[in-house]
Amino acid sequence: MNEEVTPLPSLEQDQTSEQTIEEIVASLGETVGEPRVDDPKMSVSNVNVFYAEKQAIFGVDLDIANNEVISMIGPSGCGKSTLLRCLNRMNDTIPICKVTGELMLDGEDIYGKDTDPVLLRARVGMVFQKPNPFPKSIYENVAYGPRLHGLNRNKADLDDIVVNSLKKAGIYNEVKNRLDESGTSLSGGQQQRLCIARTIACSPEVILMDEPCSALDPIATAKIEELIDELRENYAIAIVTHSMQQAARVSQRTAYFHLGKLVEVGDTDTIFTNPSHELTENYITGRFG
């Protein structure tokens, strides 16, 4: 590529570079676009995340709206997963991880003293990059969450929840005759949909998805994208993805991160057709990342 492009801050701190990450981040300037929405489901304000001494997220402001899919894109290592894991406090399991700033769910501080992370995770479900069904039966996989939270009154209730969740996740027809087989015996795509069913079964309010399709083939990906679109009716969804097409297909808003900084956020259409920030443009046109 011989095009004249303005030199970009390099992702890895190579030895020749004199700049520290902090300086590069400072040079990125303010977030372009409107991170706020009316009546947000979740709201992130001035959040910094540190892994020991190393800062991974720099002063991010972002809202997640109801009945909306917001996609988070950006080069590898820019902190998308880190931010996502803050939203349901999965970062609590990493002892060196420290979060400052304000994260709200329905106006309540999720890092506040009164918030129970276990309850929070029941309200904010998560689907992981690698399908991770429990090594138990398909039925048990889905029934586990509701049973934990006591969402069912009896066995019939539980059966209903399981069947409905599997249906919503679009996998019921494939597994209805083998509910007692191990969840790990399914194909990768089926496993991921099973994980989605498991998340839905807890009837969360928000669903976080960290590259849910990265291990899947196009057909399975298409099924899951369809599913995400349907789920939007009832949930607020945040999805991390490396696929620009996927972001364009499933999300209404898109946030572009760079080195832990939220560079640009806005309507997906606008971001992909008419990005304002140079870095965003470079990234989505494939010149970078």
Ligand X SMILES: Nc1ncnc2c1ncn2[C@@H]1O[C@H](COP(=O)(O)OP(=O)(O)OP(=O)(O)O)[C@@H](O)[C@H]1O
Residue from 31, 43, 71, 81 binding ligand X (CB under 6 A): 81
Rounded CA-CA distance 229/242 in Å is 18
Pairing of strands 54-65, 40-51: antiparallel
User: Which of Mg ion, ligand X, another protein, none does residue 94 bind (CB under 5 to 8 Å by kind)?
Assistant: ligand X
Regarding 212 and contact with ligand X (CB under 6 A), the answer is: no
DSSP string, 47-82: EEEEETTEEEEEEEEEEEETT-EEEEE-STTSSHHH
Rounded CA-CA distance 15/91 in Å is 30
Closest approach, Cβ 133 to another protein, in A, equals 7
Binding to another protein, residues 109-168 (CB under 8 A): 118-119, 121-122, 125-128, 130, 132-136, 144-145, 148-149
Binding to Mg ion, residues 46-85 (CB under 5 A): 81
Regarding 55 and contact with ligand X (CB under 6 A), the answer is: no
Indicate the SS3 state at residue 245. helix
Helix 155-168 to helix 138-149 angle, to the nearest 10 degrees?
A: 120
CA-closest candidate to residue 246, choices 231, 232, 262, 225: 225
Q: By rule CB under 6 A, what count of residues binds ligand X?
A: 10
Regarding 28 and contact with another protein (CB under 8 A), the answer is: no
Specify the residue, 22 or 181, whose C-beta has the smaller distance to ligand X: 22
Binding to another protein, residues 192-221 (CB under 8 A): 195, 198-199, 201-202
Question: 10 Å Cβ neighbour count for 169?
Answer: 27
What angle (nearest 5°) sits at the alpha carbon of residue 256, between those of residues 211 and 207?
Answer: 40
Residue from 77, 101, 170, 289 binding ligand X (CB under 6 A): 77
User: Residue type for 51, please?
Assistant: Y
Residue from 5, 26, 94, 118 binding ligand X (CB under 6 A): 94
DSSP string, 163-218: HHHHHHTT-HHHHTT-TTSBGGGS-HHHHHHHHHHHHHHT--SEEEEESTTTTS-H
Closest approach, Cβ 117 to another protein, in A, equals 9
Closest approach, Cβ 161 to ligand X, in A, equals 31
Regarding 82 and contact with ligand X (CB under 6 A), the answer is: yes
Which stretches of the chain bind another protein, using CB under 8 A? Answer: 88, 90, 93, 95, 118-119, 121-122, 125-128, 130, 132-136, 144-145, 148-149, 182, 184, 195, 198-199, 201-202
Which stretches of the chain bind ligand X, using CB under 6 A? Answer: 51, 56, 76-82, 94
